[in-house]
Structure 1
Amino acid sequence: MTGKDPQPREGQQAHRQDLRVFRGVEAWVFDLDNTLYPHEANLFAQIDEQIARYIQKILDLPPDEAMAHQKALYHEHGTTLRGLMTTHEIDPDDYLRFVHDIDYSALAPNPELGHAIEALPGKKFIFTNGDRPHAERTAAALGISDHFEDIFDIVSADLIPKPNRETYEKFVDRTGISPARSAMFEDLPKNLHTPHLLGMRTTLIVPKGSRDVFQESWDLEDDRYAHVDFVTDDLTGFLKAVLGALK
């Protein structure tokens, strides 16, 4: 690429590449939790507590043992749901209803984010390990529901969560997107490995104020984050910078 690189403001800085690599993107794919809303909203903390309560209920465990069992299942199987289905044959619909029975009042409409998403050229999707009702309620609380073509949830993925490659392949098959002309936004680095391999531009969303901390680990010689093209702690600001680079 030639010419002077765009210079995003603080909180929008791309670490590795020129933002003009987003030119030609026709599909914009967003994770939901801790991506479309800020980590500090603590919405996922409520879900985490509900998961522990669910395990307490079905396995008759005290709170501390339920939490420990939850974490063990998550690390072994990718999601607690997958672990419970594998080891305890639970009803996934019952689980999803229970764990997403949370208070959404911590979320407020974000018209600035909505305007930025709406302005992106092409189609926009939500791709989540949660379920569709949770994604719909979250998007409604943020005031951004109308800007998405579709929601690809854990049920659409046949209950196989990210970062399993087959889940991304199902997403691509269902939506008909071209990965080489797509971009993905996620809060978990492991969930960007496959999108990177498929040819997507990848952006990691980190908690507010932690971008510089991530930058320190980014500079390690082993480069554990080679699959992450950009990092930001301000999704709205980053999207505005991308839009500026597309002009």
Structure 2
Amino acid sequence: MTADLRHIETWLFDLDNTLYPVESGFMGEIERRITDFVVKVTGLQREEAYKLQKVYLRDHGLSLTGLMLHHGVDPADYHALFHDLSLESLARDPELVEAIGRLPGRRLIFTNADDVHARRVLERLGLDELFDEVFHIGSFDYVPKPDPDVFRRMSAEHAVAPQATAFFEDAERNLAPAAALGMTTVLVGPHAPASTAPFVDYKTEKLAPFLRDAQVREAA
């Protein structure tokens, strides 16, 4: 059964592990750099630094938030870690480019990454011209998803009508506040079919075929 998204006017997408497949391994390199940074900041052995990194991610929604709160890390220093990442593992998917290009209405990025990283990845994927705006972590004073206030603020400041918005994410818990506002939620990735979360409206392993087959309103 194809998804009925004919009521959608705003298409809201997460970036990492949503607009490219987990199998690319790109996020693995990001995680390694985060661990290196935690080692440098805390002086912990690598194994303990990795555990702390994951605790901060679990408790705050983003490792950076824990580092800022508990270690006084400057977010600009943190995000600079990723500005020279090789993008070789990311490949342009013509099917995805076409599928996103057919979506009527506004197309927006909502990411816990910074603007530089987001722009680099979108350009590499051939998607940079298809999105109207990027709502990055700096746009919200470094308060990350899934904080509900971030979703409310984003919706208010950018005239996003939740009832006419679809949000695509690979992190299940980030969909909960979107659903609470009334957005249509889509969980993306190989783990999606196993989800039983009541706030997930649709689940898909692959984003491109889901968008290609979805029912959408006709462009004006």
Structure-1-length-normalised TM-score: 0.84
Q: Which residue of 1 aligns with 2:210?
A: 238
Cα distance between partner residues in 1 of 2:172 and 2:21: 16
Q: Which residue of 2 aligns with 1:48?
A: 31
Aligned counterparts, 1:81-120, within 5 A: 81-120=64-103
- Over the aligned positions, Cα root-mean-square deviation in angstroms equals 1.5
1:60: Cα distance to partner? 2.2
Q: Which residue of 2 aligns with 1:63?
A: 46
1:67: Cα distance to partner? 1.0
Cα distance between partner residues in 2 of 1:91 and 1:154: 13
Q: Give structure 1 regions of 4+ aligned residues with deviation exceeding 3 angstroms.
A: none
1:100: Cα distance to partner? 4.8
* 2:200 paired with 1:228: yes
| Contact 1:54 1:99 (8 Å CA) reproduced | no
| Contact 1:55 1:70 (8 Å CA) reproduced | yes
1:246: Cα distance to partner? 4.3
Identity over aligned pairs, percent: 38
Larger CA Rg, structure 1 vs 2: 1
Which deviates more, 105-114 or 135-144?
A: 105-114
Q: For residue 202 of structure 2, what is the amino acid of its counterpart?
A: F
Can you list the C-alpha shifts for 1:37-66, whole angstroms capped at 9, x where unaligned?
Answer: 011011111111111001111222221121
2:149 is paired with a residue of what secondary structure? helix
Structure-2-length-normalised TM-score: 0.94
Size of the alignment, in residue pairs? Answer: 218
Cα distance between partner residues in 2 of 1:166 and 1:116: 31
| Contact 1:126 1:151 (8 Å CA) reproduced | yes
Structure 1 spans left out of the alignment, 5+ residues: 1-6, 9-18, 219-224
Cα distance between partner residues in 2 of 1:78 and 1:112: 31
* 2:149 paired with 1:166: yes
| Contact 1:125 1:149 (8 Å CA) reproduced | yes
